[in-house]
Structure formats: C-alpha cells, structure tokens
Chain A
C-alpha cells in the first residue's frame, strides 16, 4: 500500500521534474535513445538473418550435397593448393549416376549467364542452369505452370526451358509464358514451365531469376565442357555421411586420384553454410554487443550525470521530504524512478524511431519489430536506468536531513 503510493508519488514528481526540464531531459535521453536503437536494430538484424537463413536452407534442401571442384569456404592456402584441379565432367556425372547406390536423385548443373530477349523486350542477363529432369528432386522445385522438361528432352538436347518466377513476370507480364519462344543468349527456346516462387537466397540473390534448360542443350549451345556441379539428394539427413563416403570413393576412382593424395574435388553441404553462418552470426552479434554496450554505457553515463545534477538541484526538496517523514529508501526509490523514467522514455522514443527504420530494412531482410524485441528494448532501458541512477539516488538518500534542509 505505502509502497505503491510511494511509487505513484515518485512517478508524479519525476514526471513533473522531467517536464520542468524538458530540453535537458530530451538531450539526456539522446544517449539512451541511440543505445536502445542499436539494441533494437541488432536484434532485428539477427532475427532477420536467422529466419532468412532458415528459409534459404529449406529452399535448397538440407539433405542435398554438392560435388564440386572447389569447396565453398576455402582459405587462401586451400585455394592455392586446389586451383589446378580438373573440371568435373559429364563422364564423371554419368559414372556417379551409375555407381552411387545411396542417393535418391542425382543431377548435373552447368551454369552461365545469358541475356534474355522476348520479342522487343530485353530482360538482361540471368542465371542459366543446364541440368536434367532430376533437378526437380535435387533442387526441390515445384511448378506453378506447365511442367519441367522430361528425360527424353534432355536425351535429345531439345530447345526447351523452364523459367523462374521473376523471369516469368518480367518477360511475360501480360500473357502466359507457356509455349512462348524465349531467346536465351543467341538461341531460341520454348518455355514449357514456370517454377514456383522461391525467394532470395540469404536475402541476397533471387532464386527466381533463373532459366533451366537441358544440360545437353547447354553443351551444344553455350559451352562444350563446362565445369559441372553434381547435386545429390540423399533423401534423409541421417544418410548424408554414408553418401559422402560413397561419393568420395566413386569420385576418386572416376578422377583417378592417386592413392594417398588428398581429394581433388569437394563435397559441399548445407552444414558448411550453417557453420559459416554461425561464425558470421557470432561475429555480428559480438560486434553488435560491443557497439550496443558502448552506446548504452555512454547513454548511462549521461543519465548518471544528469541525475547527479537533479539530486543537487533538489537537495532542499530532499530535506523537506525527510523532515515530513520520508525514509532513506523512499528518497532512493524516488530518484531511481526518475532515472528509470528518463531511460524508458528514451527507450520508447528509440522504438518509435526504429519502426520506420525496420520498414526500410524489411526491404532487404525479413525484419519486423517483434514483441520480444520491444520487451528487450524496454528491459534494457529499465536496466540502464536502475544502474546509472543508483549512485546518485543512493547519495541523495544518505544526505543528512538537516544539511539538506539548510541548502538554498
């Protein structure tokens, strides 16, 4: 009862004091505003990265391994050691297709970039993927229109293609793309299907800016012996290790790697991404924590400073309250309330500011001001208020009533 009445009185007085020094209060909270803003942005960014990462991984399929000439994350030394590796050829793909027993689907991938033209419309360069019908499984593709090209069309190197969702909307805004003749580089292909929208990979490049065509056609039309990637869908996460082992054996045989020599190819896996992401995420988080901590520290010092000023300005008031019967803890509480109120105001302003910023960020990352972020921001504000207000408030509470009353 007394406690709540005291809190209420403390709030009333603090609010009056803050209003009486409006300019000063706003300037003081600036540090906290920046601090809390950093916290909010950090949390939003990390949240956003996480969810992007999760969706990106699930787009690509977590149970797919990629046999490639190079590893995804190589340092300089590894790069120097491996740059003379031979390409992965279609013969090796055939070999893997024949010998591998532990996989659900295997498809080669040849990549290049070509300009798209349809009638008068120039679509610019997009990613061209030469592959087989098995890409539907290895890439986890769903069709929104038409069909994927068939095994026979791969066999016959037919000029057919399947386009990504962005390509479809861009090149064929007002008509169905199916059956249209799309110019890819200097060849013309018939569109037989459109892949369902897949979004951006890690928020960076669109997976829908893409044209799939038979890998055999790719050889004939664009590049005879490109370096290939072999996508292997294992079918289960648990089977990945076994498949890896088997793949290594088969590839070494196919590429005639001398016994004892290291693998002259790499088997890439989403997990590498996970690890790398965690490393990057950890770095970002650490950096963010540092910046956040620093700005909150500076903000907290500002609050502490102004609380010292407030206490010394109101020494007389402290004396009056003590004479009337306020206990030490009442005075302590009152000034703590004031500093917490200042910080919470800063926090609220920061949240208001971060709302539009989040909207801008949301253009690149799936960022949103979640309730948990709001709670974190307010929690951080309150903590800053308590910590930075404590010493001034404690000092106020320890003043002798007579000395406090004597000041003018």
Chain B
C-alpha cells in the first residue's frame, strides 16, 4: 500500500471568467521512506501539489488517499489533525512565529496534539539538539541566522513524528553553504527512513533526492528514479525513523519497480 496515492487530481482557480488549471491531471504514488523531489518551472503547480499533499488545500477533482484514508472526504477538523500528526512542513520563508522562542515554536505542534507539558518540553529540547541548536533554544527567530531558523522549522516539522516531511523550496532563502547543511540534514533523515518530499527548481537540490517528479503546466512530465550508491549507513539516529516500530513494513519500493 502506498503512503500517498493520488489519482487524477486537479486543482482549478476561478479568476473572474477565466479558469486557471494549476493542476490538470496528476496521478502519483509515493511510498513510505521515499526521498522525492518535485521540480518544474515557475507556475507549473509545484506549490499547489504540495499544499494538497499537505492537506492545506483540497483538490477540485480526483482522489487522494493518505495512509489508507481518503482525505478528499475529510472535514476541516480531521484535516487539521492530519496536518498536526502526519505532516511536517518546512517553508522557504521558515514561517516561524516571530514572538515565540525556538523552543516555543517547536512545542507548538505538540500543544495542538495535546502532549503533556513535561514531555512536550523534553521532546522539543531533543528535537532542537538533533538539529544542532541545543544552545539556541531560547532565541527568537530574529536572533537566529537563516540556516538556524530553517533548522528550527525542521525540528518543528518533525517533532510530532509525522509520516511525511514536506519542504517547499527549503533552501530558497539560504546561501549555498547553509543550503547544503539543510540538505545534509534531509539526507540524514532520509537515511533514517523518513519520507521526504522537497519542492525545488534547483537541479542541484533535486539531485540529493532519490526520485524526481517533474511537473509542467499542471501535469506530470517525467518521473525518474536516481540510482545512488554510497548513501552513508546511519550511526546514531538523528530522529528515530518515523513509524519505524508501528509499521515495520517492507522497504520502500520505488514506482516502476513493480
């Protein structure tokens, strides 16, 4: 069973009399543990697809099954819960709460999940040390560098142990060196078995992933598997593989391998 199964999804925007097809007809399966990049020129529908995958937006047509449940029929409350527990977002512009410290930012998803205070604190501290920010927990976003902010965002995205990490241009606002750091972090997470989907228009960024889906005009133009060797074996886990214990299923099978 795929983690994500979207069938003939479309997304239309009505602009006055004109209808914009942000997504026309997209069918895609993504397996647990995949590290996938979505590429395409500007306006090709990457962010739109990303928002749908992240349950922030609902498709105009088609079917979206996430983790065996049909998302297309869910109400707002259920979608909020899915975003809270199953999805971790990383945005280009970090999207941290300005008036909250790094720690408070990372604790927020757990507040919504109803995690008790002491555990919340502990897990947030762990998540922040895992991204190398143990000494910055009480800093507010404006007291952190861009790379550090994005690490806080990654920690926040992962702290509820979601099924999927969704990143829309995560390195877009970072210089190349910090960008590489974040990508290394993703690499590490992928090796641990996390499912990661990165939207990017940089070939370099995409090359870090294992599979590239190319969009054009709201359609899948190409879907390629990158064959890599030498993916370093994990030593100490940064984050425990998401659902590693709960779903000890078969290793991810890339589509096309059937």
Contacts and interface: CB of A to CB of B under 8 A. Distances in A.
B108 A1 contact: no
A17 B99 contact: yes
Interface in B48-82: 51, 54, 56-57, 76-77, 80-81
Given A9-B108, A13-B99, A402-B57, A327 B114 contact: no
Interface stretch (A32-40, A68-76, A274-282, A317-325): A317-325
Contacts of A321: 97, 108
B184 interface: no
B2 to A, nearest CB: 23
B108 A324 contact: yes
B84 interface: yes
Contact of B112 (A6, A20, A319, A328): A6
Interface in A11-60: 12-13, 16-17, 20
B112 A324 contact: yes
B138 interface: no
Contacts of A20: 99
A188 B170 CA distance: 104
Interface in B80-100: 80-81, 83-85, 89, 91, 95-100
Given A1-B114, A6-B111, A325 B81 contact: yes
B111 A405 contact: no
B56 A401 contact: yes
A322 B56 contact: yes
Interface residues of A, number: 27
Contacts of A5: 111, 114, 117
Contact of B99 (A16, A400, A402): A16
Given A13-B99, A402-B56, A2 B114 contact: yes
A322 B99 contact: no
Contacts of B89: 323-324
Interface string A303-340: 00000000000001101111111111010000000000
Nearest to A15: B99
A17 B99 CA distance: 8
Interface of A is mostly: helix
Interface string B121-150: 000000000000000000000000000000
A6 to B, nearest CB: 7
Contacts, number: 74
A20 B100 CA distance: 12
Contact of A328 (B77, B108, B160): B77
Interface in A389-408: 400-402, 405
A357 B245 CA distance: 68
A405 to B, nearest CB: 7
B16 interface: no
A320 B89 CA distance: 9
B148 to A, nearest CB: 18
A6 B160 CA distance: 17
Given A401-B56, A402-B57, A325 B112 contact: yes
Nearest to A16: B99
Nearest to A2: B114
Nearest to A401: B56
A358 B104 CA distance: 43
A324 B156 contact: yes
B45 interface: no
Interface in B144-181: 156, 160
B112 A330 contact: yes
B113 interface: yes
B50 to A, nearest CB: 10
B55 to A, nearest CB: 9
Given A5-B117, A405-B56, A328 B76 contact: yes
A316 B112 contact: no
A325 B81 CA distance: 6
Nearest to B86: A325
A326 B100 CA distance: 16
A109 B185 CA distance: 101
Nearest to B117: A5
B109 interface: yes
Contacts of B251: none
Contacts of B112: 2, 6, 324-327, 330
Contacts of A330: 112
Nearest to B116: A1
A364 to B, nearest CB: 48
Among B89, B96, B160, chain A packs the most CB atoms within 10 A around the CB of B89
B117 A325 contact: no
A355 B112 CA distance: 41
B71 to A, nearest CB: 14
Nearest to A323: B89
Interface in B6-60: 51, 54, 56-57
B80 A325 contact: yes
Q: Which 8 A-B pairs have the closest CB atoms?
A: A325-B84, A2-B114, A325-B112, A16-B99, A327-B80, A401-B56, A402-B57, A320-B95
11 contacts: A13-B100, A317-B97, A324-B83, A324-B84, A324-B89, A324-B108, A324-B109, A324-B156, A326-B80, A326-B112, A328-B76
Given A6-B111, A321-B108, A325-B81, 17 more contacts: A2-B111, A2-B113, A13-B97, A17-B99, A319-B95, A321-B97, A322-B56, A322-B80, A322-B83, A323-B83, A324-B156, A326-B112, A327-B81, A330-B112, A401-B56, A405-B91, A405-B95
